[in-house]
Structure 1
Amino acid sequence: MQSFTSGGHRIEVEWFAASRGSAAGEGAGGSRPAVLLLHGADELTYAEGDRLAARNISISGYHVAFVHYLDRTADRRVAYSRLRQDFPLWATTVRNAVSWLASQPGVDPRRLGIVGVSLGAAPAFESAAADPRVKAIVDYFGPLPEGLAGRPPRLPPILILHGASDPIVPAQRVTRLNAS
């Protein structure tokens, strides 16, 4: 387990090193592209699925940092009554995680991405809109943060994987990014 500090709080990171000789390819000095993997609202309740995803991404040649961003608010699960108050802290933590990731040995800081699962997609969008180092986003059935809903943000390429009949996060709330 690795970690970094955000807002005076220790943020845990599970590291999955890229497999050599895979499709992603090495950059200068043997560096590899890397992604942050951001869990959903239940953080570690479904972590085995997140870890499986991280292992699969790393086999493809990407370093993966599974960031426990809820550590910033000392939560193991999102407290929905504090969602609006806590979201800016999580988004800042994810921006700090991008900086941490870019500084890791063997990481190509010009090839960074974020995979956001459910709630994790919102701080992924917020961070990518503010940080041009993020070159791609994968959104697994997650929401667009309120702050970006009213303005067309500068975002990198996005892959959205979302069910059309999702009862929790309506797909049209995110797929409208295709129109901007």
Structure 2
Amino acid sequence: MQSLTSGGRRIEVEWFAASGGSAEIARGSSARPAVLLLHGADGLTYAEGYRLAARTIAASGYHIAFVHYLDRTGDRRVAYGRLQQDFPLWAESVRDAVEWLADQPDTDAQRLGIVGISLGAALAFTTAAVEPRVRAIVDYFGPLPDELARERPRLPPTLILHGGVDPIVPVSHARALERLLQEQGTPHEIRIYEGQGHALTDSAQLDAAARVTRFLGRHLQAASAEGATGFAGA
């Protein structure tokens, strides 16, 4: 277990080193793209599921930092009565986590991404709106924060994955994000899984995992060829 400091609080980070990525080895590069993994409002309730996702992505050649951002407020799960007042604190901690990730050995600071689940995806959008080093977002069932819906900042390439009958974050959030990305001309992909709720099961889960691998490969593995500014093409 590693850690970073944010707002004077210790934030634990589970580190999963890249274990694949033959293209990186072929190019003779030791610096790997790296990804923050942000859990949902459930915190570590389903930690083993998040860890399985981290290991799967790491096997494709990415360093993964699974950030326990609720440590900032001392919570194990989100206290919904404090959600609005705590969200800016968690967002600050995620920005600090991007800074921390960029400084890790063998990490390419120009090829950073975020995989966010539900609340974690909302934090990914908020972070990427002000942090240009975030070059790709994977959004699982994320709500588009009201502030971003109003201000419409430019976001990096985004993969949107959402259940068609999600009772917690309605699919309208996915459609609103899609419209924002279309307006900006930002590379994006969207997959709405009909009949799926606020989690993916069976074949939908496998399909989503394959899409994540392809998407990150397109926008992070190839990002170094695009330079330090701008986004990788679709």
State the one-letter code of the partner of 2:176. R
Q: Tell me which residue corresponds to 1:11.
A: 11
What whole-Å deviation, never above 9, does each CA across 1:44-69 have from its counterpart, x for those lacking one?
Answer: 10000000000000000000000000
Larger RCO (CA under 8 A, 6+ residues apart): 1
Computed over aligned residues only, the root mean square deviation of the Cα atoms, in angstroms, reads 1.3
SS of alignment partner, residue 24 of structure 2: coil
Structure with larger Rg: 2
SS of alignment partner, residue 125 of structure 1: helix
Q: Tell me which residue corresponds to 2:185.
A: none
What whole-Å deviation, never above 9, does each CA across 1:140-171 have from its counterpart, x for those lacking one?
Answer: 11111221121211100000100121111011
1:96-111 superposed matches below 5 A: 96-111=96-111
Q: Is the CA contact 1:14–1:67 (under 8 Å) kept in the aligned structure 2?
A: yes
SS of alignment partner, residue 116 of structure 1: strand
1:100-179 superposed matches below 5 A: 100-179=100-179
> What is the rounded CA distance, in whole Å, between the counterparts of 1:149 and 1:165 in structure 2?
22
Stretches of structure 2 that go unaligned for 5 or more consecutive residues are: 181-234
Q: Tell me which residue corresponds to 1:42.
A: 42
The answer on 1:30 being equivalent to 2:30 is yes
Q: Is the CA contact 2:142–2:173 (under 8 Å) kept in the aligned structure 1?
A: no
Q: Tell me which residue corresponds to 1:89.
A: 89
Q: Tell me which residue corresponds to 1:62.
A: 62
Identity in percent: 70
Using structure 1 for the length normalisation, give the TM-score: 0.95
For residue 25 of structure 1, report the CA deviation from its aligned partner. Answer: 2.4
Q: After TM superposition, where is structure 1 displaced by more than 3 Å over at least 4 residues in a row?
A: 26-29
State the one-letter code of the partner of 2:60. S
Q: Is the CA contact 1:38–1:121 (under 8 Å) kept in the aligned structure 2?
A: yes
Using structure 2 for the length normalisation, give the TM-score: 0.74
State the one-letter code of the partner of 1:2. Q
Over 3 Å counting, the alpha-carbon distance change for 1:150 and 1:66 in structure 2 is: same
Stretches of structure 1 that go unaligned for 5 or more consecutive residues are: none
For residue 28 of structure 1, report the CA deviation from its aligned partner. Answer: 7.3
What whole-Å deviation, never above 9, does each CA across 1:107-141 have from its counterpart, x for those lacking one?
Answer: 00010000001111111100001100000000111
